Amino acid sequence: MGRTSPQPKGPTLTTEPRWLDDDQLASWRALATLTVRLPWALERQLQHDAELSFMEYHVLARLSEEPDRQLRMSVLAELTNSSLSRLSHMVKRLEARGYVHRAPDQTNGRFTVATLTDLGHTKLAATAPSHVDEVRRLIVDRLSADELRLLGDLADRLVEGIERADP
């Protein structure tokens, strides 16, 4: 019995690439530059003002939005687009600083729940104003209300395409 080789995904080697035209290339380069520089700028501000990484801030903020300030680690990993392993290491550091507490889920002990502590909530509340100021300075105040709404719509559309392509 013969075996067939797997079919390549996407264009074959004989297909001519669909190169970007000058306008498309300029837009792509602008977006690529933004995706590199914006996280760095936000990271720098949070490190300077609060000694938190952007992801640490994001974890604290997501927990603060829950009525009981807690989430299963698996849900938190999904919300922060992080692997469970990477998130566990980060939450361990936050726990060592007293900002988060981890415990087995009382409804299903196979899961671990991360809870924002009072100290973590205080840290987030103290950090949020300067972070929001930086988000305003870098993004919100540079765009009109219509442009900001359009940016949000475009970002949602791009994220949707990424999520659809990456199950």
Domain boundaries, the chain: 45-165
The Cα 112–Cα 73 span in angstroms is 6
pLDDT of 3 reads 52
Summarize pLDDT for 78-97 with one digit per residue, the tens: 999 999 999 999 999 999 99
On the question of pLDDT at 11 being above 70, the answer is no
pLDDT of 12 reads 57
Helix ranges restricted to H, the chain? 22-50, 54-64, 73-79, 84-96, 118-138, 145-165
pLDDT of 8 reads 55
On the question of pLDDT at 38 being above 60, the answer is yes
pLDDT of 37 reads 97
pLDDT of 15 reads 86
pLDDT of 109 reads 85
Determine contact, residues 46/57, Cβ cutoff 8 Å: yes
What CATH number matches the domain at 45-165, 1.10.10.10, 3.40.50.300, 1.10.3720.10, 3.90.1150.10? 1.10.10.10
DSSP string, 119-140: HHHHHHHHHHHHHHHHHHHHTG
Mean model confidence pLDDT for the chain: 92
Which segment of 3-7, 62-66, 73-77, 140-144 scores lowest on mean pLDDT? 3-7
On the question of pLDDT at 5 being above 80, the answer is no
On the question of pLDDT at 9 being above 70, the answer is no
Q: Determine what percent of the chain is predicted with pLDDT higher than 90.
A: 85
